[in-house]
């Protein structure tokens, strides 16, 4: 069962934050905290809460662990290399602890929801003081206060289906582009995926809480709202509402801003959803619809609950209703039991759809998932070859993909200085394609109208057309 953390419990945590702040204040100079977030946008959003709580405790934030008083690693478990990276960084902190035994080192996030990882930290990383799971995030003030009053290793990893904690302070990464979680957890249990085990069951925030957060972000100057969930398309099921209704509500809010969302699962990408997106002018014209494989047989083994034909049907409907929409996807190569023929179906699917771009992954076995115990006869070398082939095919498809935008005038959110040169400004089109253009820095944070003049493989270059959009 989902637990809503009560207002009383949140008030208790705020008291701990104040008590911790008082103890820090006795030290003279304000403490410095370093938060390193790995993984997806959900984790980045949790990182904003961690930073918010630390700021409430009087901490300044530091970009580096060197010399920090508090170091927190907010971890990701989705693939083995994500975990390896965390362990590598964590090992390096041994020296920091030797240099400064007072430093408080904490590890949280998805990795520590797994027993074998917690055991490894317990045994091999004695310099870690705090380990807290995704359901204990809101108790950080209490945990830090505990460290300040009694230096004892502390492990807090509550089980259960997951919690919703409203009202945590936030330190946003950007005031312009704001992430708003709309739901947590996942019920889909794709057989390769660890997320449902480490993030608990699906649970949606109340629509009024989301709308209140969206309004306050817009009032604070936000121009892009990114609605977050592992599967936003199943938002609101337990509350008697749904994602299209939420999109319509947010789209109707006053102000000039755009709405993005991630991730969406093809099995729940209904016609109603696509119709709603077509009608909501503030919603991005970009569908990131992870297909994972082009073989219905492999999709069955993955427990994705759609076939190749279902997926192509959704794509056709999107193209019919929103012809200018961009499509991107995730692909896993080398799922256990995938054959050369299955892989070729993936190649033929990506050719058929013509994705704007792809996120591609080699299958990584995750302990405790169903796929981890499936026979996996294909060698790592062969999977590597398939992976390179996939990149090549997508490279061909992507070449020239953006030519279609040349000559078009598009509404672009100006996000900042150009990547290649500070002389240029950069922004994103309604299809989420990067575009660079000349212009004054005062335009940052505004929507401008840009005529596209040139297309490269990953970006566009254009010129501002005056006065089309204010």
Q: Please, which residue, 188 or 429, has the CB nearer to ligand SF4?
A: 188
Q: How many CB atoms lie within 10 A of CB 118?
A: 17
Quick one: what does residue 87 bind among ligand SAH, ligand F3S, ligand SF4, none, with the CB cut-off 5 to 8 Å set by partner type?
none
Q: Which of 74, 75, 135, 230 binds ligand SAH (CB under 6 A)?
A: 230
Which among 57, 50, 73 is positioned nearest to 127, based on CA atoms? 73
The nearer residue to ligand SF4, 230 or 276, going by C-beta atoms, is: 230
Q: Which residues form the interface with ligand SF4 (CB under 6 A)?
A: 186, 188-190, 193, 195-196, 230-231, 265
Determine the Cα–Cα distance for residues 442 and 102; give it in Å rounded to an integer: 44
3-state secondary structure of 315: helix
Q: Is 162 in the site for ligand SAH (CB under 6 A)?
A: no
Binds 189: which of ligand SF4, ligand SAH, ligand F3S, none (CB < 5-8 Å by kind): ligand SF4
Please say which residue, 77 or 140, places its beta carbon nearer to ligand SF4: 77
- Stretch 176-205 residues interacting with ligand F3S (CB under 6 A): 194-195, 198-199
Tell me, residue by residue from 24 to 63, as one string, x for binding to ligand F3S by CB under 6 A and - for no binding: ---------------xx-xx--------------------
**Strand 224-228 vs strand 258-262: parallel, antiparallel, or unpaired?**
parallel
Which among 222, 345, 227 has a CA at the least distance from the CA of 294? Answer: 345
Using the rule CB under 6 A, give the single segment among 11-19, 188-196, 212-220, 272-280 that binds ligand SAH: 188-196
Tokens of 312: 């192509």
Q: Residues, the chain, total?
A: 470
For residue 271, give every residue at least 6 positions away whose Cβ sits within 8 Å of its Cβ, in sequence order, or none.
317
Residue 10 DSSP class: H
Residue with tokens 């992870």: 290
Residue 432: HSE in the Cβ half-sphere, 13 Å Cα cutoff:
18
Residue 263 touches ligand SAH, criterion: CB under 6 A: yes
- 110: partner contacted, choices ligand SAH, ligand F3S, ligand SF4, none (Cβ within 5-8 A by kind): ligand F3S
What does 43 bind: ligand SF4, ligand SAH, ligand F3S, none (CB cut-off 5 to 8 Å by kind)? ligand F3S
Give the DSSP per-residue string, 191-249: TT--HHHHH-S-EE--HHHHHHHHHHHHHTT--EEEEE-TTGGGTTGGGT--HHHHHHH
CB closer to ligand SF4, 36 vs 201: 201
Is 291 near ligand SAH (CB under 6 A)? no
State the binding partner of 191 from ligand SF4, ligand SAH, ligand F3S, none, CB within 5 to 8 A by kind: none
Answer yes or no whether residue 304 interacts with ligand SAH by CB under 6 A: no
Secondary structure (3-state) at 444:
coil
Residue among 404, 417, 409 at smallest CA distance from 448:
409
Say which entry of ligand SAH, ligand SF4, ligand F3S, none residue 196 contacts (CB below 5 to 8 A, set by partner kind): ligand SF4
Asked if residue 179 lies in contact with residue 45, where contact means CB atoms within 8 angstroms, the answer is yes
Decide: is 79 part of the binding site for ligand SAH (CB under 6 A).
Answer: yes
What's the rounded Cα separation, in Å, for the pair 276 and 265?
16
Binding site for ligand SAH (CB under 6 A): 78-79, 192-193, 195, 230-231, 263, 265, 290, 292, 330, 332, 361, 363-364, 366
Binding footprint of ligand F3S on the chain (CB under 6 A):
39-40, 42-43, 76-78, 110, 194-195, 198-199
């Amino acid at each position: 069962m989902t637990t809503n953390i009560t207002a009383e419990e949140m008030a208790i945590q705020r008291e701990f934050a104040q008590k911790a702040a008082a103890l820090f204040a006795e030290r003279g100079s304000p403490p410095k905290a370093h938060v390193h977030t790995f993984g997806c946008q959900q984790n980045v959003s949790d990182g904003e809460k961690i930073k918010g709580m630390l700021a409430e405790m009087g901490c300044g934030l530091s970009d580096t662990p060197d010399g920090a008083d508090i170091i927190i690693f907010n971890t990701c478990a989705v693939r083995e290399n994500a975990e390896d990276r965390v362990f590598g960084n964590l090992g390096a902190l041994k020296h920091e602890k030797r240099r400064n035994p007072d430093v408080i080192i904490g590890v949280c996030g998805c990795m520590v929801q797994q027993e074998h990882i917690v055991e490894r930290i317990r045994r091999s990383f004695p310099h870690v003081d705090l380990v807290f799971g995704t359901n204990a995030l809101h108790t950080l003030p209490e945990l830090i206060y505990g460290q300040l009053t009694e230096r004892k290793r502390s492990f807090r990893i509550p089980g259960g289906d997951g919690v919703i904690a409203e009202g945590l302070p936030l330190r946003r990464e950007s005031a312009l582009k704001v992430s708003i979680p709309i739901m947590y957890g996942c019920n889909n249990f794709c057989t390769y995926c660890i997320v449902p085990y480490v993030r608990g069951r699906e649970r949606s925030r109340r629509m009024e809480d989301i709308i209140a957060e969206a309004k306050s972000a817009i009032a604070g100057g936000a121009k892009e709202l990114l609605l977050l969930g592992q599967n936003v398309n199943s938002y609101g099921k337990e509350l008697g509402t749904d994602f299209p209704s939420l999109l319509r509500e947010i789209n109707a809010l006053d102000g000039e801003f755009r709405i993005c969302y991630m991730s969406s699962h093809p099995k729940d990408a209904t016609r109603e959803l696509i119709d709603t997106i077509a009608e909501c002018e503030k919603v991005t014209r970009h569908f990131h619809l992870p297909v994972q494989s082009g073989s219905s047989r492999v999709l069955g083994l993955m427990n994705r609950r759609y076939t190749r034909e279902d997926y192509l049907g959704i794509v056709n409907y999107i193209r019919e209703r929103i012809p200018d929409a961009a499509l991107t996807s995730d692909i896993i190569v080398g799922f256990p039991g995938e054959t050369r023929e299955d892989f070729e179906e993936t190649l033929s699917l990506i050719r058929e759809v013509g994705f704007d771009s792809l996120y591609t992954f080699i299958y990584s076995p995750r302990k405790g998932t169903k796929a981890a115990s499936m026979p996996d006869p294909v060698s790592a070398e062969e999977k590597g070859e398939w992976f390179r082939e996939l990149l090549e095919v997508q490279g061909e498809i992507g070449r020239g993909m953006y030519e279609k935008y040349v000559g078009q005038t598009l509404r672009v959110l100006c996000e900042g200085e150009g990547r290649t040169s500070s002389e240029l400004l950069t922004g994103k089109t309604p299809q989420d394609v990067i575009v660079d253009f000349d212009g004054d820095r005062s335009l940052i944070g505004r929507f401008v109208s840009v005529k596209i003049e040139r297309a490269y493989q990953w970006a566009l270059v254009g010129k501002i057309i005056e006065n089309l959009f204010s």
